[in-house]
Amino acid sequence: MSRLNLGSGIYVIEGFHNRDPDLDGWRFEHGLPEYEDGSVEAITVSHALMYVALADWPAVFQEFARVLEPGGVVRITEDATDDRASERFGGWPGYVTLTSSDLVADHIERAGLRAYVCSERETMFADRTLIQRLHGPAPKVFHVEGVKL
């Protein structure tokens, strides 16, 4: 099975397929056509969805759901750009979408996955490799996971 680190930037994870415009030209809007249905056990997305237009989110989340195997997990760690308590409130350079845990959880659920808002130390993935330690605590960021039933 495959593990994906999408929007990885320079933060590659060993044992994951690291995808990012700066690494290989990949963009969320391109989807994941090289991965078959149910062929991915885990996906991590960190600080990247704010750079994807909200109009593209439904297709992006549908693609996560398509490639995940049953029981597979997608973990979204994102800047809380709509939270006034966050130092990143109002966006970050180059952003196109303000992000919140509610917005991410809603898109996870619409894609047919079960959504869980988690702390920085919690995960539904068994080996905990989806937990990244370089993002900072709430309210700067939030974490939402989706599990394919």
pLDDT for position 112: 98
Rounded CA-CA distance 12/35 in Å is: 19
Strands 114-118 and 141-147: antiparallel
Q: Mean pLDDT over residues 90-113, rounded?
A: 94
Q: Is the pLDDT of residue 137 over 80?
A: no
**pTM, whole model, 2 decimals?**
0.94
Mean pLDDT of 108-125: 93
Q: Which pLDDT score, from 0 to 100, does residue 134 have?
A: 62
| 85: exposed, middle or buried (Cβ count in 10 Å: 0-12, 13-18, 19+) | exposed
What average pLDDT does this structure show over 96-107?
96
> What gap in Å lies between CA 120 and CA 136, rounded to an integer?
8
- The CATH architecture annotation of domain 2-147 reads 3-Layer(aba) Sandwich (3.40)
**Amino acid 69: pLDDT:** 97
What integer best gives the mean pLDDT of the chain? 92
* pLDDT, tens only, 65-86: 999 999 999 999 998 988 888 8
Tens-place pLDDT, residues 17-38: 999 999 999 999 999 999 999 9
Residue 138 pLDDT > 80, yes or no?
no
H or E segment and range at residue 64: helix 57-67
Between CA 133 and CA 135 the distance in angstroms is: 6
* Helix 101-110 / helix 57-67 crossing angle, nearest 10 deg: 60
